[in-house]
């Protein structure tokens, strides 16, 4: 069965329409069927509409996403309350252990992303994974730093990623491999991203799932939740007849 490849983290500058169009077209050409783009919480409707039109013309789907970088647990809770029903994907950039723990246990959070390249500031450990496994959050790995780092810094980051992915596998936390890039020059084919999974300790099938099935399942799950009439998984409101 043919896979549907997804990159949930294209970091576009929405004010640069021509640049955004180049990245979207390149992603479609490389074989992606769906991309996720982070929007500002204050995004204007015309900006999102314009990007969706670019994606439509390129023949690629778009998932709306917001990347949260809260400073306190209270700020995170407030952001989730306001934004959960506005975006298809909610990602928390975990730069603090307290924030990471809160995000991991909140079912409104879809992705946990650890942007730091320093081991001491990456907080995906066994406690974090156990919380994430219960809330159905996934671990997102951006490969962009691996393109840019060199020497010892790249080796240290790979070591961190192998440890984190191993913990995620142990606790059955889904792993997502995203590009995290903003330029078409750094985009890679889906199979190339999947190949990076071998560096993190994932087998071939798990690597392919990390750029297809795992990502797509989150988008489909959330689109169902945001659809009209949704009550709970498998339960929808159906109106029939004039008396309903």
Tally of domains within the chain? 1
- State residue 46's pLDDT score: 84
Segment among 27-36, 95-104, 223-232 with least mean pLDDT: 223-232
Is residue 243 domain-resident? no
Is residue 17 domain-resident? yes
Is residue 241 domain-resident? no
Instruction: With H, G, I as helix, E, B as strand and everything else as coil, classify residue 62.
Output: strand
What is the bridge-based pairing of β-strands 6-7 and 61-68? unpaired
Rounded to the nearest 5 percent, the helix, strand and coil shares of the chain are: 50, 15, 35
What is the bridge-based pairing of β-strands 235-236 and 230-232? antiparallel
Is residue 148 domain-resident? yes
Nearest by Cα to 173 from 199, 209, 142: 209
Average pLDDT (140-150) is: 93
Mean pLDDT for all residues in the chain: 91
Instruction: With H, G, I as helix, E, B as strand and everything else as coil, classify residue 229.
Output: coil
pLDDT above 60 (res 126): yes
Convert the pLDDT of each residue in 68-98 to its tens digit.
999 999 999 999 999 999 999 999 999 999 9
Banded model confidence at residue 12, pLDDT cuts 50, 70, 90:
very high
pLDDT above 80 (res 242): no
Q: Which CATH number is 13's domain given?
A: 3.20.20.140
Is residue 244 domain-resident? no
pLDDT above 90 (res 226): no
- State residue 141's pLDDT score: 96
pLDDT above 90 (res 227): no
Is residue 16 domain-resident? yes
Model confidence, pTM: 0.90
């Amino acid at each position: 069965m043919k896979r549907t490849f997804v990159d949930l983290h294209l970091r576009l500058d929405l004010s640069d329409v021509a640049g955004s169009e180049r990245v979207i077209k390149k992603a479609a050409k490389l074989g992606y069927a769906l991309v996720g783009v982070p929007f500002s919480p204050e995004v204007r409707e015309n900006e999102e509409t314009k990007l969706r039109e670019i994606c439509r013309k390129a023949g690629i789907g778009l998932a709306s996403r917001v990347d949260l970088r809260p400073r306190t647990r209270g700020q995170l809770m407030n952001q989730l309350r306001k934004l959960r029903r506005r975006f298809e994907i909610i990602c928390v950039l975990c730069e603090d252990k307290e924030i990471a723990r809160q995000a991991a246990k909140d079912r409104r959070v879809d992705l946990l992303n650890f942007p730091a390249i320093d081991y001491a500031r990456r907080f995906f450990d066994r406690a974090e994974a156990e919380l994430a496994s219960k809330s159905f959050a996934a671990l997102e790995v951006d490969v962009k730093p691996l393109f840019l780092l060199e020497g010892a810094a790249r080796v240290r980051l790979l070591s961190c990623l192998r440890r984190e992915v191993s913990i995620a596998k142990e606790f059955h936390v889904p792993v997502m491999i995203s590009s995290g890039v903003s330029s078409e020059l750094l985009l890679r084919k889906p199979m190339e991203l999947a190949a990076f999974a071998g560096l993190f300790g994932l087998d071939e099938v798990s690597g392919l799932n990390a750029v297809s099935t795992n990502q797509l399942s989150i988008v489909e799950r959330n689109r169902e939740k945001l659809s009209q009439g949704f009550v709970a998984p498998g339960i929808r409101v159906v109106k029939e007849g004039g008396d309903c």
